[in-house]
Amino acid sequence: MSDTASGTDPDPQAGRQKRAIPDLFLLQYLPIIPRGVALDLGAGNGRNSIFLAEHGFEVDAFDRGTESVAELMTAARERNLPIRAIRNEVTTLTILPKRYSLAVIAWVLMFLRRGERDGVVKMAIRGLLPGGFIYLGVFSTHDPGYALCKEKFEEIEERTFFVPKRKMTMHYFIPEEVKALLGGLEEIAFKEGYEMDIGHGEPHHHGRIEVIARLPKE
């Protein structure tokens, strides 16, 4: 019975629980991803890292946010999960080559400039073991933010806008661009969609592209 149906107050932790759900596309393909060490770039509060650590992976998680990293380290310690959460810019990071059976770059590349996006994805691919997987999630030009940015903000690179209030850039992807980033890898699954995001703040929509690809075995 739900809290509402039982007449009690809604669970104040409900929002947190929603945020803790990992990316479902990743979850869907998890059975074919070899267990080992996973890399989570721009891990945020670690919803994917925690899920992966609970399902047989060791995780190296990186994020620039001091609070996110602290929150993730605390969660990992409390649950005794094998997660190393490290505060670092993903653009200045050096990772070990051929260490990871999975690299996750979820909802981060939109905040980077073109050269940085290419560099981060190349680095993640170099970090993969032969037969390793990469998961990318990015906003597409079907995102309502794209039309808004086009109308209001300066386009400093193709489909990249400077958002003055947040002092940051936002990039919106097209499918060919995502595929080009993963050139040379075997495409396992590709999904383009328009979905409601109920994970934070007021429910809102995003145009999304998600890809799972595999580095060929040597």
Amino acid at 83: I
The reply to whether 111 sits near ligand SAM by the rule CB under 6 A is yes
Q: How many H helices and E strands in the chain? A: 8, 10
Specify the residue, 5 or 27, whose C-beta has the smaller distance to ligand SAM.
27
Specify the residue, 168 or 180, whose C-beta has the smaller distance to ligand SAM.
168
Q: Report residue 199 as tokens.
A: 């994970």
Site map 13..52 versus ligand SAM, x via CB under 6 A: -----------------------------xxx--xx----
Specify the residue, 3 or 157, whose C-beta has the smaller distance to ligand SAM.
157
Q: Report residue 189 as tokens.
A: 């699954």
Contact at 8 Å (CB) between 139 and 208? yes
Contacts of ligand SAM in 149-208 (CB under 6 A): none
**Which H or E element spans position 6?**
helix 3-6
CA distance 176 to 218: 26
The CB-of-108 to ligand SAM minimum distance in angstroms stands at: 4
Bridge partner residues of 207 (DSSP): 194
**Which H or E element spans position 84?**
strand 83-87
The CB-of-91 to ligand SAM minimum distance in angstroms stands at: 5
Q: Which stretch binds ligand SAM (CB under 6 A): 7-15, 58-66, 94-102, 203-211?
A: 58-66
Judged by CB under 6 A, the residue of 65, 82, 119, 131 near ligand SAM is 65
Size of the site for ligand SAM (CB under 6 A): 16
Specify the residue, 91 or 141, whose C-beta has the smaller distance to ligand SAM.
91
Amino acid at 195: E
The reply to whether 127 sits near ligand SAM by the rule CB under 6 A is no
Judged by CB under 6 A, the residue of 39, 68, 143, 149 near ligand SAM is 68
Q: Which of 166, 163, 146, 143 is nearest to 154 (CA)?
A: 163
The CB-of-138 to ligand SAM minimum distance in angstroms stands at: 10
Our measurement of the distance from residue 185's CA atom to the centroid of its chain's CA atoms, rounded to an integer in Å, reads 19
Output the CA–CA distances (angstroms, integers) from residue 90 to 59, 83, 95, 135, 205, in the order listed: 15, 17, 10, 16, 26
The reply to whether 67 sits near ligand SAM by the rule CB under 6 A is no
Contacts of ligand SAM in 84-103 (CB under 6 A): 89-91
Name the 3-class secondary structure at 48: helix
The site for ligand SAM (CB under 6 A) is made up of 42-44, 47-48, 63-65, 68, 89-91, 106-108, 111
